[in-house]
Structure 1
Amino acid sequence: MDTFFSATTGGFYLNGLHDEMPEDVVEITPERHASLFEGQAAGRRIVAGDDGFPKLGDEPAPGVEEVTVLARRRRDRLLAASDYRAMPDYPQSEAQRAAWLGYRQQLRDLPATSGFPAVILWPAEPTGN
């Protein structure tokens, strides 16, 4: 089977498997196809070159906005996972309740800490029941 790459879709197509292909497909050799996937497995990204052929590119570093969104999502998941610990009727000692409330407050305060979002010191979840 012949292998093709489309710069517009960033996808690979196989002759005989795909009945329809984008107009901009270019044929690539099996060796090039294999080396692209080896590079991808090593953490690189397959991108279209100026000539329309696929090449390996470096994954762009996430921007501050993306890192902030990811950090807030993680923080929100940790808060949601510990919501039940903040309920006044949850069976736990006062010390445990205070520890969990403190942990949750630390999570809420993370965005205001120095270095956020580039440097985040995630609080440890309290131990014990």
Structure 2
Amino acid sequence: MKWAGLDRYGIVVMTGECPMIDDKTIFPSGLHKVIIDPPDVVVHSRWFHDGQSFEMLPDRPSEHHVLDRETRSWVLDLETCAKAARNKRNALLKETDWVMLPDVLLSSDVLAEYRTYRMALRDLPQQSGFPENISWPVHPEGK
């Protein structure tokens, strides 16, 4: 039997053929809903099931976009986007923590560049475009 598994937004996340065990169909766990005998759809974030039928959606702009079921359009989840930006910022700060150790020998000019870079990273959430449009500071070593 062919099937399509949907997530909580109605997006097709799995398709397949189900095995029968003792006349019972076994589906993978973690699916919100399963549609039996769907049309030939593929596992892709562009297939949507509205409860009645499948339709093709435009490409998902980023992993931070979620589907608005009513308008059938992708909307930016600002909370997820902000969390991802903060995680990236924290990783970049961690990469340069060594510079702040008291026994690191750097010239005062280089140390000032790192301090400026780290302050710019900490100030990212105050940027006017945060979290959608972020102007990332340039690493002192050009990374």
Q: TM-score, normalised by structure 1?
A: 0.70
**Which residue in the other structure is 2:75 paired with?**
61
Residue pair 1:7, 1:54 contacting (<8 A) in 2 also: no
**Which residue in the other structure is 2:51 paired with?**
50
Question: What does residue range 1-129 of structure 1 map to in structure 2 within 5 Å?
Answer: 2-7=1-6, 10=12, 11-16=14-19, 20-21=26-27, 24-29=34-39, 32-33=40-41, 36-37=42-43, 40=44, 44-51=45-52, 53-58=53-58, 59=60, 60-127=74-141
Give, in angstroms, the shift of residue 99 of structure 1.
0.8
- Which of the pair is proportionally richer in strand? 2
In structure 1, the gaps of 5 or more residues are: none
Q: Secondary structure at the match of 1:61?
A: strand
Q: TM-score, normalised by structure 2?
A: 0.64
Q: CA RMSD in A?
A: 2.9
In structure 2, the gaps of 5 or more residues are: 61-73
How many residues align? The count is 117
Q: Percent identity?
A: 25
Residue pair 1:5, 1:54 contacting (<8 A) in 2 also: no
Closer, same or farther in 2 for the Cα pair 1:26/1:109, shift >3 Å?
same
- Which of the pair is proportionally richer in helix? 1
Matched to 1:15, the amino acid is: C
